Structure 1
């Protein structure tokens, strides 16, 4: 029996080869998309799950709220670590503070080949307790003792091989920033790609004071976002959420005890589950990669939509060719076939098509895997098709697709009455099957138009990122990190570079105007007896900073050259926040940074607002002054007439030689400022790329189905076309007959898709402080694109029918 079903199915599929081809291609791409989306979602949802106590581990986050702002800070004051251990002795060994350092040079020998520049998310000072909270597989050394002593370091296998090749690294020396040596006491397995705490160079926390932390050990007001505190709560009979809520209540008392009243009033310590850190785009993580759960579920929904689009093709084509198979059904029923047997036969045909599509989908997914991994910023080796869960999902997906695509057509085809089928009295035109096909085409185009609208809005937002007025000039500016230096080195480097004709201006500062890494300080204004309830973003820089980055001075003057803070320049936001309607009014006023004993200094200038962060966040109140020991970045403004690639390459080579002569123990790196700013929006670029890809696939699959439906319509109306031609109908008129109906369906789909797309994209845009407005033309453009695509798809078959000789058309049976 099964053999007979298979043989019959193969004959039917071969006989209707064009229908088979369209369905297999559509199902192949639909299944491949679903498979790749499933793998990506599974990868994202597995972040930090490898830790044994992941469900009980939390990150301590400071939530600041006052009347005008609401923000989060992952940085915890350094003295909080000891204070927490005193106030919560039961957690003494289940909490730890991680102090990340990035953009550092590690040396393992005297030659240039033994210098390694390590970026963010790789190097950190940690305690032995770190290994109680985060799971590492140990190859050498011991978790309890490896970092017990100062000047010790644990390396991952990858870093050990990078620094020392195939030799045993235990006992070897690594030198950090050419100022402190560490002895290798352990080697651990590489952290998985799904870790939000992915450190591979783990330095003993006992050495941090000697190295120098980014904030003071007794300062409760200053924080550094790379100094984060994690804790594991004990197991309890109550739910974990309840235990965490109880701990947060205790932390409220902890804040009141240790913080100043004005600070504790606006701050609340919250526990952020380790397994949720990856999904919080506002707070970020050490891996510098996050994705919202809304985006993940949107990916899954789009994958499902694409599969539905492919299944709609199958249903449309199956019902469209129902008349062609009516006599076959009639003969089988006369010969004794039951409706159940016929339904199983047609479901078997669907299953066979799906099986073929699954095999092809595996090939498509395998070929596309590297590109998808690059698009979603996932390590290529983190996604694999050779996985029992992936294979199981594919089998389940194949079964689901067979039922979804094959159930209704099998019900329709097996339900024909044999007498009517054999007499040829079955009609499709005007029947419920035609209504169903129209409805399904509307569903297809609604899905496609939702994706088109999403793509247009995402593209417009990305263009806004690229073209928005940031308050400074990002073009033709190169930024170069400045390492730890000795007195006079910055001046020597400036002297070597200042005379180069290709350099218009250069400046030292803590960072570029827009930066993800920020120093926020508390301050007192004029004669206030306490600090303001908000901080200012600090941008220490030399007097060339304004000219190099194109900032605009709207009142007063720049501060005088100095090595320490003597005068302040503020931005417009700070002036307005302090109650001054005109920038000139704040000139001459006094500000004191830090505690009550700090010295007041005058405000001498006001600059036009510039974006201190990415466009996700509002421009913050900002304060600028000189402070030589904070200058970590050299900004170089290139002369516009020297902008050719060859000239820039030659200039950078000259700059590198001068830099290496000044800092021979460090590694030279540079980045163009516009590229740095583009990196702020990696998540949005990924989403935009995903929209484009999935929208294109959905449109392609929809066009395949539409092409097949039109082909069957043309075939079933061949004589009608011949009669119309014989009576004088033009080619345009015939084309209009077939195209007008589909234009109406596209219009209905646009009406359905528009409010859904508007709601979804409005929610997405809420993540941005500076965003575009969703305008009517975006929906009109999506509708126009869909109409053009539909007309192009319909035109192949309709024009061919219109050009056919009417004599041949009238002879067609």
Structure 2
């Protein structure tokens, strides 16, 4: 019996090749999308879930508030760690981490090899030995981690150990960090996995951090985004009780001048990868809303493919009604007919699944490139894929096949054999219309979302930022050591291709953020809020075209003497006008100065955030970057000259540069990726929807063959016939549009809430979505409608 079912199914699929091809392609597209999105969602949800103590590990974060403005940060002043260790509120492990976004490693020269220099961006972490007790990096017992308590020690990952010492034992060797510290390699651990927010490859003893940072990281006044504190709770402990204990212990120790630190809370380790408000070392945050949105899109596209299958399958119902009638007359049971058609659906779904595996293999490299991920697809290394695909195969078979199977099995044999079936009896036209409306609602929602995201991205690119980012080259200085290159400033400007040069802690908009307390107008008490602080030389304003509202730039100095503030700071200080702000005294880091200028507000972080109060002043020791404004028509000459001067100033450091406008785009890379994904999935949804439309119009043409013949005999033109069929579907697309508009509006309104600076949702996006889907639908429908209109009416009327 099973053999007969199988052979019959194969025969039917081969006999209806176009039907089989459309169904297989539609399902394959849906399954491929769901499989790719499954890989992405699973990867994003897996971050740092491999740590044995991960479920009871937390990051300590701070709620701060001043002058009615509140916020959160994961930056922890150094003294808090000592307070918790001296008054432990029941924590199992306490460890602090200091991450650097850039570092240079020098492998000293040997008798056979010259010194080698390597730039290791984002790979440097200053940690304590407890870091490896808390996090499961490395395998088994690691006795050498105890030595991380000593200064000038270092642990390498296997990748870097092989890179630096390919022909010798790395343990015991010495590496030089940023041409400042000699570090002894005390151990080697396996490479950290990709799904971690601690992407370190070099683990340097935390005791060495102060020797590299221009800031005193153990002081209350130092709040750096890359300094974090992690704690592990005992098994079974209530983290809310521990959180309350931490507040009771730490808050009384906070100095009066730092009373903007209001409370502390514990952030679960699994939330670090998904919380947009707080920093992480991978510099990559994927909110849970985005992850669930991707999962939902995968489900929707799969459902759309199933709807497409149902439409095509029921479109074939008339052709198979006599077959069903004959089977029933010969004694075939209701259950046997259902199993027969489910078997056919299973074969189609199985073929579509095999095709989707091939499509996934082909498309995965492009998806990895788009999302900057390292996803892999292998049933051997990842058996969970089979666990996903197996149930998916069964589920799709049931969703796509049950309705057509039950519908065909329920046909009356006499009516079927006499060909007296009508549209409602065979295929439930109302349900099919609902399914088409649902398909095109999904298509239009995706198109609208794509257009709105694109408009927001265009707004980011075109919105005035308060400065000019074009034609600026950034050079990251070795460990903030600007002194050598400053002495070459005159030589730098001798090259005509280099127009302006400035030294700074960071460009105007940057991930490097320093917040400082300060005193105002001779007060002995600090202000109740912190300021964003930009350290730069006097050329900073001219290079980045930051306009002055009043006053001037500070005079050239290697240390704090004068200050420039922004308009937001002026308002926070309750100074009525910019001109009146000039001459007021400020004290920062124990140094007095006066306000000599007020600049127009400029954005210091992405447009997700409000403009903060800012102070700009000079401090040679805090300069991390050199910025050069160049003539882009002589770009090669400018870069060549910069490299020549660099090699004179820093002969032992790797020359590297970046264009600021390209770096600036990284602030919105997640939004750009979302826009690209929306485009891809909207296109796929339209393709699948068109296949469904093709199935529906094929069904209607089959049902109305005689009607078309009669109309043509009575004088109807091909255009009249085409309009006859098309107007039915135009109504369905318009109904889908009415559903899609409020859904898309709600989704985009929620998405835009994450941006402080955002567009109003453009209504033209809705019109474009409606026009595009209507045009595509008309093209799809017209092909089949015109074919029916051109058919010979004599043959149509002879059809029984």
TM-score by length of structure 2 reads 0.96
Where does residue 604 of structure 1 map in the other structure? 596
Where does residue 114 of structure 1 map in the other structure? 116
Q: How does 1:351-500 map to 2 (within 5 A)?
A: 351-381=346-376, 386-428=381-423, 433-484=428-479, 489-500=484-495
Where does residue 616 of structure 1 map in the other structure? 608
How big is the shift at 1:565? 1.4
Distance 1:160 1:384 in 2: 31
1:333 aligns with 2:328: yes
1:732 aligns with 2:719: yes
How big is the shift at 1:585? 2.4
Q: How does 1:381-780 map to 2 (within 5 A)?
A: 381=376, 386-428=381-423, 433-484=428-479, 489-594=484-589, 598-639=590-631, 643-644=632-633, 647-780=634-767
How big is the shift at 1:685? 1.6
Distance 2:481 2:317 in 1: 85
Deviation digits for residues 459-502 of structure 1, max 9, x if unmatched? 11111111111111111111111124778523332122112111
How big is the shift at 1:698? 1.1
How big is the shift at 1:515? 0.6
Where does residue 60 of structure 2 map in the other structure? 60
1:344 to 324, 334, 339: 339
Distance 1:542 1:728 in 2: 86
Where does residue 88 of structure 1 map in the other structure? 88
2:106 touches 2:179 (CA, 8 Å); kept in 1? Answer: yes
Where does residue 98 of structure 1 map in the other structure? 97
Where does residue 178 of structure 1 map in the other structure? 179
How big is the shift at 1:720? 2.6
Partner SS, residue 626 of structure 2: strand
Q: Mean Cα displacement is larger for which, 44-53 or 747-756?
A: 747-756
2:467 touches 2:546 (CA, 8 Å); kept in 1? Answer: yes
RMSD across aligned positions (CA)? 2.1
Q: Mean Cα displacement is larger for which, 332-341 or 252-261?
A: 252-261
Q: Mean Cα displacement is larger for which, 714-723 or 290-299?
A: 714-723
Where does residue 256 of structure 1 map in the other structure? 251
Partner SS, residue 708 of structure 1: helix
How big is the shift at 1:363? 0.8
- Alignment size in residue pairs: 797
How big is the shift at 1:527? 4.0
Q: Mean Cα displacement is larger for which, 705-714 or 545-554?
A: 705-714
2:480 touches 2:622 (CA, 8 Å); kept in 1? Answer: no
Distance 1:40 1:485 in 2: 38
How big is the shift at 1:340? 0.8
Q: 1:135 to 1:304 in 2, by over 3 A?
A: same
Partner SS, residue 770 of structure 2: helix
Q: 1:777 to 1:541 in 2, by over 3 A?
A: same
Distance 1:488 1:251 in 2: 42
1:374 touches 1:380 (CA, 8 Å); kept in 2? Answer: no
How big is the shift at 1:387? 1.7
Distance 2:789 2:719 in 1: 8
Distance 2:567 2:480 in 1: 33
2:476 touches 2:626 (CA, 8 Å); kept in 1? Answer: yes
How big is the shift at 1:244? 1.1
2:317 touches 2:426 (CA, 8 Å); kept in 1? Answer: no
1:40 touches 1:383 (CA, 8 Å); kept in 2? Answer: no
How big is the shift at 1:398? 0.4
Partner SS, residue 439 of structure 1: helix
Deviation digits for residues 593-652 of structure 1, max 9, x if unmatched? 24xxx344211111111101111111111111221111111111123xxx23xx312321
Q: How does 1:133-152 map to 2 (within 5 A)?
A: 133-138=134-139, 142-152=143-153
Partner SS, residue 58 of structure 2: strand
How big is the shift at 1:319? 1.6
Structure 1, unmatched stretches of 5+, are none
1:459 touches 1:688 (CA, 8 Å); kept in 2? Answer: yes
Where does residue 11 of structure 2 map in the other structure? 11
Deviation digits for residues 317-349 of structure 1, max 9, x if unmatched? 122221211111111111101111111111111
Q: How does 1:155-304 map to 2 (within 5 A)?
A: 155-209=156-210, 211-216=211-216, 218-236=218-236, 243-261=238-256, 263-264=258-259, 266-304=261-299
Q: 1:805 to 1:381 in 2, by over 3 A?
A: closer
Q: 1:383 to 1:255 in 2, by over 3 A?
A: farther
1:39 touches 1:383 (CA, 8 Å); kept in 2? Answer: no
1:139 touches 1:187 (CA, 8 Å); kept in 2? Answer: no
1:215 touches 1:224 (CA, 8 Å); kept in 2? Answer: no
1:146 touches 1:186 (CA, 8 Å); kept in 2? Answer: no
Deviation digits for residues 524-551 of structure 1, max 9, x if unmatched? 2214442222211111211211111111
Structure 2, unmatched stretches of 5+, are none
TM-score by length of structure 1 reads 0.94
Distance 1:167 1:112 in 2: 16
How big is the shift at 1:113? 6.5
Q: 1:777 to 1:407 in 2, by over 3 A?
A: same
Distance 1:307 1:572 in 2: 52
2:62 touches 2:76 (CA, 8 Å); kept in 1? Answer: yes
Q: 1:138 to 1:479 in 2, by over 3 A?
A: same
How big is the shift at 1:382? 8.2
Distance 1:517 1:30 in 2: 42
1:22 touches 1:705 (CA, 8 Å); kept in 2? Answer: no
Distance 1:390 1:424 in 2: 46
1:788 aligns with 2:787: no
Distance 1:87 1:706 in 2: 70
Q: 1:488 to 1:702 in 2, by over 3 A?
A: closer
